[in-house]
Amino acid sequence: MEIKFASLETCETATDTVVAIDVCRAFTTAAYAFAAGAREIIPVGRVEEALALREQMPGALVMGEVGGLPVEGFDFGNSPNELLGVDLAGRCMIQRTSAGTQGVVRSKRARTLLASSFVCAGATARCIRQLAPESVTFVITGMRPDRGAEEDAACADYIAALLDGQAPDVEPFLNRARNWLLQYRLADSTRLKRLTLDLECCLEVDRFDFAMLVRRRDGLPVIVGCNLQCTELDFTMH
């Protein structure tokens, strides 16, 4: 199995199996939404698209951010901690973020597409092993021309080690992610308290035993939670 890496700028060319990684915070928040009972999550690229979809879908809720901050008119921010104790049973969630959802939306050539973070890393690896693809491309969604995204890279490396049949100590990977986030993401004191609570959620490895598989419906990507019993699912994008 060949392991490759891509960014938001290059993921459009990625084929075979593609995993969009966003640890802090999009795909940690998405996993917490599924744990709260959400039926599906529709990732979009623009705020206007998210709000328009909510109008078309009775009962749907919107979550996400712009520039890391909550968006006026959204039902939730991009915060896993905010979803603790929330009942989303049967709800369709629409998610717009600056990094994670962009990686899903742009990975249009993927044969199989997953979204992932540390909280569902093990389940993601098991799902990929079940698929047995020739190649896996990890999209490091937080990477920018002016900075890296060590938290996403560390998560991708951890999943890659699992795919290689290793039983790695997760602490070095978490330390990479934690040190990076403390240095770069928590430097803004105005967001320190909220991000600190989210950070605890983001670095809880394998809290959830499901992978987040992306299907395509009516031209839109739709994320669904998938455990090891999802053996009858068609994993290819439609």
- pLDDT tens-digit profile of 78-89? 999 999 999 999
230, exposed or middle or buried, with CB in 10 Å at 0-12, 13-18, 19+? middle
Q: Is the per-residue pLDDT at 177 higher than 70?
A: yes
Instruction: Write down the domain spans for the chain.
Output: 2-226
Helix (H, G, I), strand (E, B) or coil at 177: helix
pLDDT at 229: 56
Distances in Å between the Cα of 57 and the Cα atoms of 26, 52, 78, 92 are 22, 9, 20, 8
Q: Which residue has the higher pLDDT, 134 or 228?
A: 134
- Return the closest-CA partner of residue 33 out of 230, 212, 221: 212
Helix (H, G, I), strand (E, B) or coil at 56: helix
For domain 2-226, give the CATH superfamily: ComB-like (3.90.1560.10)
* Cβ neighbours of 182 (radius 10 Å): 13
Tokens of 13: 């060319």
pLDDT tens profile 79-130: 999 999 999 999 999 999 999 999 999 999 999 999 999 999 999 999 999 9
DSSP structural state of residue 220: E
pTM of this structure? 0.94
* Residue found under tokens 């994670």: 100
Q: Which residue has the higher pLDDT, 233 or 174?
A: 174
| For residues 192-213, average pLDDT | 91
Q: Where are the beta strands (DSSP E) in 170-217?
A: 211-217
DSSP structural state of residue 144: B
Distances in Å between the Cα of 83 and the Cα atoms of 47, 185, 213 are 20, 20, 20
Alpha helices in 115-149 (DSSP H): 121-131
pLDDT at 195: 81
